[in-house]
Amino acid sequence: MSLLRPQLNHLGLYTARMEAMERFYVDVMGLIVTDRGSVPRLGNAEIVFMSASSDAHHQVALVARPDQSAPSCINQIAFRVDSLGALRTMYEAMKTAAVAPIQPIDHGNAWSIYSADPDGNGIEVYLDSPWQVAQPHSRPLDLSQDDKAIIANTETAIRSDPTLQTRQAWSRDMLARLER
């Protein structure tokens, strides 16, 4: 029997800061509220469903948690964008929201910004690069540079990496591994 590989679709986050979390995911991350209500199996806890996709009723569900002392166990929640311009826009939105420090990173295989939501859950917004290199790989990313400079700097930095592949070649290799 072959291994079934379900696709990650959405996540639910407990929060003691429902209003701040909803504002962050709507105002900064661009999700829209698709529904809200209460969950009987969780003591009628408030729930807010949000999505940024016409194909998904919700990508994030916020569920009220009365205990404000419990820390987040989430390492990060990652959101993909489709251009360096969009990454810059998200950087500015996070800076304006001033929720947490922001760290732009060049991973060779992606350009990312890292921050946190109001509950301290790690947030990554990223754009895939045309290449793949072994991870972890981390260099500072200067988003004040234009797209051509960022792309050229990344290519120069990873050119001598023995694990360098095009994204297409890596995807073919990964597909072969998944089909075994």
Interval 130-165: pLDDT, tens: 999 988 888 999 999 999 999 999 999 999 999 999
CA separation for the pair 32, 91 (Å, rounded): 19
Triad 40, 64, 72: Cα angle to 5°:
130
- Do 89 and 177 have their domain in common? yes
- Do 121 and 86 have their domain in common? yes
Q: End of a domain among 15, 31, 66?
A: 66
- Do 8 and 33 have their domain in common? yes
CA dihedral 27, 28, 29, 31 (to 10 degrees): 0
What pLDDT was estimated at residue 70?
A: 67
Going by C-alpha positions, the residue among 91, 155, 92, 99 that lies closest to residue 125 is 91
Triad 143, 147, 153: Cα angle to 5°:
80
CATH number, residue 93: 3.30.720.110
- Do 110 and 180 have their domain in common? yes
pLDDT lower than 70: segments of the chain: 1-8, 41, 66-72
- Do 85 and 105 have their domain in common? yes
How much is the pTM?
0.79
Which tokens is 160 given? 């001598």
Number of H helices, E strands in the chain: 4, 11
- Do 13 and 93 have their domain in common? no
What pLDDT was estimated at residue 69?
A: 59
CATH number, residue 13: 3.10.180.10
- Do 47 and 79 have their domain in common? no
- Per the listing, tokens 């996540």 go with 11
Give the chain's domain count. Answer: 2
Amino acid symbol at 170: W
What is the rounded end-to-end Cα distance, in angstroms, of the chain?
A: 12
CA separation for the pair 155, 150 (Å, rounded): 9
What pLDDT was estimated at residue 97?
A: 87
Q: End of a domain among 33, 66, 99?
A: 66
Going by C-alpha positions, the residue among 127, 91, 94, 93 that lies closest to residue 108 is 127
Q: How many residues are listed for the chain in this entry? A: 180
Structure letter (DSSP) for residue 25 = I
Q: End of a domain among 49, 66, 83?
A: 66
- Do 91 and 179 have their domain in common? yes
- Do 46 and 94 have their domain in common? no
Separation in Å, CA 170 to CA 70, 117, 133: 40, 32, 9
Domain of residue 37, residue span: 1-66
- Do 92 and 179 have their domain in common? yes
- Do 62 and 79 have their domain in common? no
- Do 8 and 89 have their domain in common? no
What pLDDT was estimated at residue 77?
A: 87
User: Residue 79's beta-bridge partner residues?
Assistant: 125
